[in-house]
Structure 1
């Protein structure tokens, strides 16, 4: 340890020790010193002997669970609650044991969730950290206390709109990878109480968007990480029907429908949320595959499909939203977008019953029409492209013929390509702004990918091939437009320093010949030096310009070497484009 660090450490120790040496020091004197946290972690015996006393633990808890008075100074409002929370989460065993083994102290801790108390988000965060620390370090005694105070479960669920409280519930019901693996037997009793019913009923009893969001997060966490019995319970048809019953009530806000559909998407495809959840990914590795919905649960999802499709029909709506390119009448809205995503995920499970139901109720045809009615909604285009792809790749000819014949996807593509400008027809869902030239529609990129997929699958599927060849307009557009567009937009063939093909063998950097590249640093320096011969700069500026020129060439040389290495090793094309733009 260096002399400076050693001196700093001694000063820190002396500050805390000087307080402990006083005859009538208080807890507040210690909390006012930032170094008390470090000393607690360092197992300062005098400090811990003072903090472990019941009276001091109670004072620490009150800073965490009780709102300060209006005339309190900033230390009591911000600093002391923070330091008190950190002292508990230092994981000093004797301090946690004093808390968890004393029922009065535990009552003081959980007094925060009583309905007659204020619940600020600041203190909720501190309260959450302490409770989770007890669950992790003193799980057995903690859950024994919880089993004797079941009213706390109800109080926590009532505060589900606070994200910190939501995190407690997730860990309490075992929807956390760490607790699930280590304390599965301890939390079996939660399966016998109606905690899931209480969470689901929040969609009916509350209008708060935060409550709906956090309730959905808990349900999705149950699917991904909770014990199988609990997860299977939430995947049952009765729960699915109960959720849709709340979502489809006319009196409920649209956020209920949005979040119920988010849960259904997670139920059908849990991996969709794993990409943003490392914890869920670890849970999948440790506990096997995700819980998948039963056939009865899927049937329960399809029971309200007709009601969802009614919401997708925008023809009878009269609301309007002005935009920079025109007017949406009506705007699609995120709840309709979520319905389209739900249909997209339904198709991915490969159920023949689902495919027949979607065809019979006209769901696929409806969402394909929305694709062309809202040409600037790229989120919608993404989901519909997936739907079309699922239909084209389906193993059943029923779905394939439906997308080609009844949905007439080829004709719609050709019509959009023939007139790629936004419509000025006032009866359309998206209308171009008046007194302005109609812009080009924003779905051409997705249309191109769909057309390429049709062409690709047509090489191996006789049904698609026959349908395309019978359409002379398609053949003409394919040869004169699509193939040329693909050649133009093929970034692998751009002669701007990018790799000509991703299949190129990786060359050793020592073998690279920099002179055959588009970027020639020597030529660049030569071009810049022409400025001097052309007398662009005055004599007084020569020295400054020389320095600038030297720094520029040095920077460009380094930049070029880095980019050439990326090119040779086949690293992502996006980096190449970024550097070119720079």
Structure 2
């Protein structure tokens, strides 16, 4: 009827428009046609959606009951003498059972919401059925397929099923006490993932009811922290802050959590306990290697993600509790984690420490950008210093370290929120980090020639190692994102000299060269004059020219050093800086040294860029004589 009326009104509009040739009527007629087409498609889509959702009812009414209905009918028969588990196994073996649950088939839901059936589904998810049935195929399904299907049903966010769980104290206690009865090193990872999936879904669709259970279960959060080696469990701690209007399942979008959620984490001293667990795992070498590494990695990631999530409380007009702020008490959280990592590095003796790498990753992520720098004022209280002062975009690990990265929510590591819209001052955090710079630089510059090895190309006499690379990333991140006090300490420790030595002595370590080159370029393009002067005083110009000269000496032997591409980038950056500053550059470097470098760029670097451009353009230099060289794309 609506569509028919629309057609009739459209005909009237077009007739009036044709008779009067009015621009207004023409506009109204065209607009009405667009509205009609849109409305027609909306009606069609809604009708199609309704037919697809309720098509099973038409099928059953026409061709008889479905297989699932038949199973439910046999289970509900008065003369049935079989146990309910027999029908449940048959039901869970059906491929369309989850689709039937999502379509809210009433008879099926009524059967599933029986107390005995709900208890059986929960038991499948939390405990493995080891009772042999004599059928190996059925035993395999009871071990893997049926528990998975049961967890999907319980986590389907169906209103009746979720109500049946949260309104039954026995079922809720079974789910929420699952981790209290498990040995952390022997927990079933599969069962743990099922339980966390169900609880996360309940937190989203039955937020108030679930929080009511958790408030009266003081051991729930502590039991989760004990099992933080399991990544789904670590994520569940973060999901406690989910609100009922979270954008989607396992979403990083921020909604306003309830005060009870925040109080749960505050009362459990989550950050403090995580820091203690990190230190304990770093010191405990008797743990299994895999379990130990998972604990250290997931603990540090949870500290980071929880800190970023808590920062969002200001956005929804909620105060940040001091117990959940790493910026207010950095020594108690970040400081002890880095100290534990440094001790672990010394204890390992092999140049590799997961604890040190994980703690430095967290510290680097929590550094802020230029927009959010404030100087520490002793006259201000910690609450004033640690107030939200800027609205800045998310700063991923790739951006901190100066490499282009994937902006997706996951990159093989734990999720970091995209909407990092509010940050606190890092004055106290950076003060904590500055105390540990000396020890980190000592590790960075130590000689590990005793760990030399041979590969297919040559003998590596002093391997750099992944841990030292992470330290290099962290120190360079401090030079880029730290406040003036932090940068001053780094320059005082002669960090530019350290990294130039690393740069020119490890010519084939491309990843390390990329990181150092990016930090140097940032200092010259966006850094302070003090930072620029520090790199120049460290002798970057003579070292570049010396490396170039050495490259020309061996170029005839087809052994061009691997860092020469990075050297060219540094040359073009310095040349651009001197041209921009003009005479002002004399405050940074001696005029004679600058003129000598500019001449070197004009005579040597420009020719190398031109040669590379011809090579990359697919032209031979001899064939392109007389042609205009292409633009500098090196």
The TM-score with structure 1 as length reference comes to 0.75
How many residues are paired up? 479
| Contact 1:410–1:474 (8 Å) recurs in 2 | yes
The answer to which of 245-254 and 43-52 deviates more is: 245-254
Give the counterpart of 1:44 among 81, 85, 105.
105
Q: Deviations over 1:241-271 (max 9, x none)?
A: 2222222224477111000000011001460
Report how far residue 466 of structure 1 moved: 5.3
Residue matched to 1:218:
302
| Contact 1:140–1:186 (8 Å) recurs in 2 | no
Determine whether 1:242 maps to 2:344.
Answer: no
Structure 1 CA distance, aligned partners of 2:233 and 2:64?
35
Is the partner of 2:464 in helix, strand or coil? coil
Matching of residues 242-321 of structure 1 within 5 Å: 242-249=336-343, 250-251=346-347, 254-269=353-368, 271-273=395-397, 275-277=407-409, 282-284=418-420, 288-289=421-422, 291-315=423-447, 317-321=449-453
| Contact 1:319–1:331 (8 Å) recurs in 2 | yes
Give the counterpart of 1:58 among 119, 136, 139.
119
Report how far residue 325 of structure 1 moved: 3.0
Residue matched to 2:460:
328
Residue matched to 1:525:
none
The answer to which of 84-93 and 106-115 deviates more is: 106-115
Matching of residues 524-543 of structure 1 within 5 Å: none
Structure 2 CA distance, aligned partners of 1:376 and 1:203?
35
Structure 2 CA distance, aligned partners of 1:96 and 1:412?
68
Residue matched to 1:528:
none
Which structure 2 segments of 5+ residues have no match? 1-47, 134-138, 244-249, 283-291, 315-319, 369-393, 400-406, 620-632
Residue matched to 1:120:
188
Which structure 1 segments of 5+ residues have no match? 424-436, 497-572, 574-582
Determine whether 1:345 maps to 2:477.
Answer: yes
Structure 2 CA distance, aligned partners of 1:475 and 1:243?
47
| Contact 1:347–1:354 (8 Å) recurs in 2 | yes
Residue matched to 1:16:
68
The answer to which of 337-346 and 462-471 deviates more is: 462-471
Structure 1 CA distance, aligned partners of 2:281 and 2:90?
44
Q: Deviations over 1:473-493 (max 9, x none)?
A: 634532232112223444899
Give the counterpart of 1:413 among 535, 544, 569.
544
- Against the structure 1 CA distance between its residues 12 and 160, is the aligned structure 2 distance closer, same or farther, given a 3 Å change threshold? farther
| Contact 2:551–2:560 (8 Å) recurs in 1 | yes
Matching of residues 136-535 of structure 1 within 5 Å: 136-173=204-241, 180-189=254-263, 190-207=265-282, 208-226=292-310, 227-228=313-314, 229=320, 233-236=325-328, 237-238=330-331, 239-249=333-343, 250-251=346-347, 254-269=353-368, 271-273=395-397, 275-277=407-409, 282-284=418-420, 288-289=421-422, 291-315=423-447, 317-349=449-481, 351-393=483-525, 396-405=528-537, 407-420=538-551, 439-461=559-581, 462-463=584-585, 467=590, 469-470=592-593, 474-490=597-613, 494=617
Report how far residue 439 of structure 1 moved: 4.0
Q: Deviations over 1:428-471 (max 9, x none)?
A: xxxxxxxxx88432211111111110000011223268547526
- Against the structure 1 CA distance between its residues 177 and 44, is the aligned structure 2 distance closer, same or farther, given a 3 Å change threshold? closer
- Against the structure 1 CA distance between its residues 276 and 41, is the aligned structure 2 distance closer, same or farther, given a 3 Å change threshold? closer
Residue matched to 2:148:
82
- Against the structure 1 CA distance between its residues 74 and 235, is the aligned structure 2 distance closer, same or farther, given a 3 Å change threshold? same
Structure 2 CA distance, aligned partners of 1:144 and 1:451?
64
Is the partner of 2:551 in helix, strand or coil? coil
The answer to which of 217-226 and 10-19 deviates more is: 10-19
Residue matched to 1:132:
200
Q: Deviations over 1:126-171 (max 9, x none)?
A: 2221111011011111112112112121111111111111111121
Is the partner of 1:342 in helix, strand or coil? helix
- Against the structure 1 CA distance between its residues 9 and 130, is the aligned structure 2 distance closer, same or farther, given a 3 Å change threshold? farther
Structure 2 CA distance, aligned partners of 1:145 and 1:134?
11
Residue matched to 1:553:
none
Report how far residue 422 of structure 1 moved: 12
Is the partner of 1:268 in helix, strand or coil? coil
Structural RMSD (CA): 3.3
| Contact 1:422–1:441 (8 Å) recurs in 2 | no
Is the partner of 2:259 in helix, strand or coil? coil
The answer to which of 79-88 and 34-43 deviates more is: 34-43
Is the partner of 2:459 in helix, strand or coil? strand
- Against the structure 1 CA distance between its residues 216 and 240, is the aligned structure 2 distance closer, same or farther, given a 3 Å change threshold? closer
Q: Deviations over 1:497-517 (max 9, x none)?
A: xxxxxxxxxxxxxxxxxxxxx
| Contact 1:203–1:247 (8 Å) recurs in 2 | no
Report how far residue 338 of structure 1 moved: 1.0
- Against the structure 1 CA distance between its residues 347 and 463, is the aligned structure 2 distance closer, same or farther, given a 3 Å change threshold? same
